[in-house]
Copies of this chain bind each other. A is one copy, B any other.
């Protein structure tokens, strides 16, 4: 059934009794997303924490000058939202777009708060997710500071082969903070 992936994802971190699992399922909504559709646009209120069931998404910032910077990719079994705006109830800074036809399971902020109230172990789950997200971003900062563009590219493709399978080079370039032209020359450099 469509919720098996999200349950497996959550149960990797906390174990749920039958009644808890049932309660959790009641809070979730399954949603199909067409290729190129946005599940969030800058300026929107960010109401949902989204689990990618199938497909792939990209979250990016669009500057006034029109430059895109990819903040994250999410393929199946990942969570994605504009966390800052979700938590602080501010207008979204990011656009989140489906790279291909996808399906997500989403959890609204209200339902998440309800889960925190009813199932304290959900606090633990979310803590672990946030811990992992934090250490991942911190490592990314460190790599941006200490590695060259070429090293960051090779690091990216070896670290995230599942993402590479879904995204264009141009999108990878905006994730690495370089131009697509320069990424092309890096790739031509050898293999």
User: A141 at interface (Cβ–Cβ under 8 A)?
Assistant: yes
Write out, one digit per residue, whether chain A residues 57-69 have a CB within 8 A of any chain B CB (1) or not (0). Answer: 0000101000101
Write out, one digit per residue, whether chain A residues 150-188 have a CB within 8 A of any chain B CB (1) or not (0). Answer: 000000000000000000000000100100000000000
The answer to whether A138 and B177 touch (CB under 8 A), given A83-B131, A123-B123, A127-B123, is no
Q: Do residues B142 and A144 form an inter-chain contact, with CB atoms below 8 A? A: no
Q: Do residues A61 and B134 form an inter-chain contact, with CB atoms below 8 A? A: no
Please measure, in the bound complex, the distance between the C-alpha atom of A24 and the C-alpha atom of B90, giving whole angstroms: 33
Which applies to chain A's interface (DSSP): helix, strand, loop or mixed?
A: helix
Chain A interface, number of residues (Cβ within 8 angstroms): 32
Please measure, in the bound complex, the distance between the C-alpha atom of A186 and the C-alpha atom of B139, giving whole angstroms: 27
Residue from B61, B69, B137, B174 in contact with A137 in the complex, judged by beta carbons closer than 8 Å: B137
Number of copies: 2
Near B by CB (< 8 A), chain A positions 104-156 give 116, 120, 123-124, 126-127, 130-131, 133-135, 137-142, 144-146
Q: Do residues B141 and A130 form an inter-chain contact, with CB atoms below 8 A? A: no
User: A21 at interface (Cβ–Cβ under 8 A)?
Assistant: no
Which A residues have a C-beta under 8 Å from some C-beta of B?
A: 61, 63, 67, 69-72, 83-84, 87, 116, 120, 123-124, 126-127, 130-131, 133-135, 137-142, 144-146, 174, 177
